[in-house]
Amino acid sequence: GQSLEQPSEVTAVEGAIVQINCTYQTSGFYGLSWYQQHDGGAPTFLSYNGLDGLEETGRFSSFLSRSDSYGYLLLQELQMKDSASYFCAVRDLSGGYNKLIFGAGTRLAVHP
Amino acid sequence: ETGVTQTPRHLVMGMTNKKSLKCEQHLGHNAMYWYKQSAKKPLELMFVYNFKEQTENNSVPSRFSPECPNSSHLFLHLHTLQPEDSALYLCASSHAGTGENQPQHFGDGTRLSIL
């Protein structure tokens, strides 16, 4: 089967750092993506790791360890607008085309 | 504005009705996707189209019928739905191809309620 595990909820304060973990068990793996979704809005792409290591994009960083089937999203200098749901997703090319397998999402609440 | 437009934003229908969801993308993509999003569950991939051809049907009941007339438009035809089909239905698009990562661009979704 295919599964991704991530915490259901995380709470933090403005200015803090938060890490959202994701572990996966999938039959095909070609990379790990992260998407952000605000309430009532569309999921939007944040970051992608195809190889092991850290990718940094402004206040957001993402890490991947393929040997551990593990990745995380790191959000620094948290702002109120970062309150949203964050989804990890495995890129699967096993059918010869792109598809994403999503986790259930982590709801981040940022407080003053 | 994500470049992917879904209509309607909200839909309430009875179990015997027939309705259609529409998705249009203005990004020049050639792959399109339908997802179902229910509370506290992963986004469930329903259908994938590459260059107008269906490449994935993720064991979706036949009461959901997709149509992709061209690379810019995707429809989901609904008939004889069940209450458990109430959910947010999301459309996404991306460049096809298995080389570099191709992020998916999502619409805002259609909130579907089955009475």
pLDDT tens series, chain A, 112 aa: 678 999 999 999 999 999 999 999 988 789 999 999 999 899 999 999 999 999 999 999 999 999 999 999 999 999 999 999 999 999 988 878 889 999 999 999 999 9
The A residues from 77 to 96 touching B (CB cutoff 8 Å) are 87, 89, 91, 93, 95-96
The CB-side HSE value for B98 (13 A sphere, CA atoms) comes to: 11
Say which of B56, B101, B107 has its CB closest to residue A42.
B107
Q: Given 3-state DSSP classes, what are the helix, strand and coil percentages for chain A, each rounded to the nearest 5? A: 5, 55, 40
Question: What are B37-83's pLDDT values in tens digits?
Answer: 998 888 999 999 999 999 988 899 999 999 999 999 999 999 999 99
Calculate mean pLDDT across residues B19-31.
Answer: 96
- The alpha carbon of A29 is separated from its chain's Cα centroid by a whole number of angstroms, namely 15
CB of A44 within 8 Å of any CB in chain B?
yes
Interatomic CA distance for residues B115 and B112, integer angstroms: 10
CB of A51 within 8 Å of any CB in chain B?
no
Please give the backbone phi and psi of residue B68, each rounded to the nearest 5 degrees, phi first. -130, 90
